[in-house]
Structure 1
Amino acid sequence: MNTKKQILALVAFSSLFISCTKNDIDIVPQNYTIPDTYTFDRNSTTSVDYSGQSSRISMLQEMGDYYKTQATAGNEVNETVLNNMYSNSGNPFSSTDLNTSGKQLKDKTAASTDYFTLLYGGGSTVEQASVRTFFQTQFTQGNNASLGNNAAVGVAGKYLDGTSTRLFAANGLEPQQVVLKGMMGASFMDQIANNYLSVNKLDAGTNVIDNTNKVVEAGKNYTTMEHNWDEAYGYIYGGDIASTNSFKFWSSYINQVNNDTDFNTLKAAIDLAFRKGRAAIVANDYTTRDAQIAIIKEKLALVPAVRAVFYLQEGKAKLITDNGAKAFHALSEGYGFIMSLRYTNKPGTNNPYFTKTEVDTMLNSLISGPNGLWDIDNISPKLDAISAQIATKFGFTVAQAATVN
């Protein structure tokens, strides 16, 4: 071969190598195993770590418990304490491990790669700031409600529910439930669907070639891609204690939705997709990995949709029998789950199932009267309309969702 031909051949070969994608460099072992549990090892040592996600789940749990215990004891719900919990400042938690973890919820609220960095899904930095401020407003609302009044039309205050005391804002929303369910979406869902399961994050930089060659992070036993996947998993299962059947947040609500015969394949589908996707990453099978991402995004989005409709309909029923505040607990949970819909990600679109504008319209409709939820005579038609809108979008009926326990 003459020199010119050799040069041309080398250029062609180099161009092919440089332009290759993760699909071009799949090196897939034949018949790789998908484990029965989420257990992955390297050199006989676990390669799974989602401790940061476990910490944030515990932080949100403690924030919710703080509202409840202070209210039931007749004490002030101190908004400074809640703000410190939100940003993990001033040693606000009962656990030293949480206080010194270096983790917080605030910087993971509306902070995903796709929606709030690359600005897919209609996100923006303005929205990010607005979402964080909204949650901090709920801390103030909890404080106002704890200061002695009984909840009444247009009055923030307390309501005795059995042996517990619940706190309600003047518009009837329960700040504790808005924070818990809303942050499940704005933090946990957003991080799962739009950050750690984002191909933009999984494949960033040299992640693909490093994972293919099993280059682990410095001082760690996992590749960056493996760890990103584990962190998505941790935002669902990182708070579970299997020995006591204790399940937190998304894991708990996946179980609840799965208990209904209309949705009883949901849990198995999500669990399998996480295990299969992680095994595919180990095997450099990126095509299978991406297929599992789509399954997880689709199935997980169904959970807030079903639970939103369930709580709207439960609240509607209690408005008839209770005529007020007790029903507002369920409606506040529904409100929070509707918030979560903004952070879902419809496979193949990099957009939520409902836009921010659509979600805001539903939320505003719920509390649009002069006295919010207290305008009970006008609420039921709104609850039915919103329920039907959500159910239609996801392909189930209101009746199906309303029977989930």
Structure 2
Amino acid sequence: MKKYLKCMRGTFLALVLSSLGLTSCLNRWEGETVESAYKLPEYPDPEYKFSRNGRSSVDYYECTLLDEPLQTIYSTFLREARISSEGSRNTVYTYFREGLYGLASPRSVVASSALHEPDRAEVIHDIEGCFVAIEALSGLGSEAPNVTRNQRATKGVAGYIGAHIGDDFISFAIKEGLIPAEYYRELVRGAIYLDLILNVHLARSLYAPGELLTRHEHTYLPDGHNYTELEHHWDLAFGYYTHFWQPLVSSINLPLLGKSRIQLYNAFALGRWALTNYRYDILQEQLQLIRIELSKVVAVRALQLLQGNITMANYREEPENALFFLSQGVGALYSLQFACDKEGRPLFTYSEVKAMQERLLSGDGLWDRERLVGSEGTPGLLHTIAKEVAERFELPLQEIK
């Protein structure tokens, strides 16, 4: 398509010059700079709007239902360590298992793809482990919860991070320096949203010959809906992407991801058009592009959090200042297991990402600046792990800062 557009633009410009009698003058203008008033027409990006029988056939409202309970758990209970009673503890688990008003259960969609079902119990346990860690930091079960919560975090000691316990924004870390609230946010981003996008709604098996594809070709519409089941799967993948990953794609200011936002948006839009018009060759091309580009975003985010300029600047000045970013980075490593290659095959296993996390958190954990950053001329563990990730995803590590 790009070659076709380029050819058409060149032909169109030649016709314009010919019609104005300018082609014979071109040789006389050699060596001169000429500014033309003519501008080539701009080709707008494809819109993600599709209809059938005069009505929209796109509906991804349900993508927003998981956000509120998961955000409430983070902002109300985890970020400021507010699980100090059985009542607050029960509320957290109710939100996680049932959602708000019973509309959507976050727990039910954790690692819910067939690809990751074997590790599902462990992944749920890891997310709930963040709740358990915050319970301890909140002082749940102790005679004086406030005493526990008001303890400052230092190497080997769990507690709060900040100038003062009464600050508007403080964090709470376990003794290894990991901040469970920030770790939780990244676990959710990968184990729920990324898995739903790449491995559930864009799963390779859905778009292969089978019953679902046959119903799509016969335009079978579920009762009360204006889309086929396959169209809805694609729309949900787009909805989860735009709500929970696109903001990150737009915020990572690196040349390596300079074209990712528009490439991903266009791939979703063109893929939906191809699906509706039964152009499965184009559909498969867009599926592969989405897998490659979104997985690249996942890896770049992890690498930037672990050893990017902001993290390293804080870490070299004062390790405590970098724990917020490093905790997100450890969680971002977790998301790597849900990324994939162009054919939908995982690039990391659950065991591999857990092993990388355990290496980072061993001993004094994230407090140990010398072990993680290294000394003069000797790369530390952060660089070693970043190199392993970059090689697996075939990324130029030197461009990720």
Q: Mapping of 1:308-319 within 5 angstroms? A: 308-313=302-307, 314-319=310-315
1:298 corresponds to which of 278, 292, 309: 292
| Structure 1 position 374, deviation (Å) | 2.2
AA partner of residue 67 (structure 2): I
Q: State the partner residue of 1:150.
A: 152
Equivalent residues of 1:113, 1:200 under 8 A apart? no
Aligned to 2:317: 321
Matched-pair contact (CA < 8 Å) for 1:311–1:334: yes
Aligned to 2:171, the other structure's residue is in SS state strand
Aligned with residue 217 of structure 2, among 209, 212, 219: 212
Query: SS of the residue aligned with 1:158?
Result: strand
> How far apart, CA to CA, are the structure 2 residues paired with 1:47 and 1:204?
23
The aligned runs of 1:381-400 (5 Å cut-off) are 381-400=380-399
Give 2:332's match in structure 1, choosing from 328, 331, 337.
337
Checking the alignment, whether the CA contact within 8 Å between 1:211 and 1:284 is kept in structure 2 is no
Distance in 2 separating the partners of 1:372 and 1:128: 26
Structure 2 equivalent of residue 106 of structure 1: 107
1:56 alignment partner, one of 66, 71, 78: 66
**Amino acid aligned to 1:265:** K
Contact 2:80–2:172, Cα closer than 8 Å, also in 1 = no
- Report which of the two structures shows the higher radius of gyration computed on alpha carbons: 2
Structure 1 residues 4-403: aligned runs within 5 Å: 36-67=46-77, 70-71=80-81, 76=84, 78-88=88-98, 98-101=100-103, 103-116=104-117, 124=118, 127-147=119-139, 148=149, 149-160=151-162, 163-203=168-208, 206-237=211-242, 239=243, 249-257=244-252, 259-313=253-307, 314-324=310-320, 326-348=321-343, 350-369=344-363, 371-380=364-373, 381-402=380-401
Amino acid at match of 2:395: F
Q: Which residue of 2 aligns with 1:16?
A: none
TM-score, scaled to structure 2: 0.78
Q: What secondary structure, in the 3-state scheme, does the structure 1 residue paired with 2:65 have? A: helix
* Aligned equivalents of 1:84, 1:267: Cα separation in 2: 36
- Deviations 1:122-169 (Å, cap 9, x if unpaired)? xx1xx2101101111101111222332221222221112663011111
SS of the residue corresponding to residue 99 of structure 1 reads coil
% same residue: 26
Q: Displaced runs of 4+ in structure 1, greater than 6 A?
A: none
What 5-or-longer segments of structure 1 have no aligned partner? Answer: 1-33, 90-97, 117-123, 240-248
Q: TM-score, normalised by structure 1?
A: 0.77
Provide the secondary structure at the position in 2 that maps to 1:379.
helix
For the aligned residue pairs, the C-alpha RMSD in angstroms reads: 2.3
Contact kept, 8 Å, 1:146 with 1:158, in 2: the verdict is: no
Query: Alpha-carbon deviation of 1:390?
Result: 1.6
1:120 aligns with none
The size of the alignment, in residue pairs, is: 336
Q: Relative to structure 1, is the Cα distance of residues 327 and 160 closer, same or farther in structure 2, using a 3 angstrom cutoff?
A: same
Query: In the TM superposition, what is the alpha-carbon distance from 1:189 to its structure 2 partner?
Result: 1.0
* Cα distance between partner residues in 1 of 2:247 and 2:89: 27
Evaluate the alpha carbon distance shift between residue 100 and residue 106 of structure 1 in structure 2; reply closer, same or farther with a 3 A threshold.
closer
AA aligned opposite 2:368? D
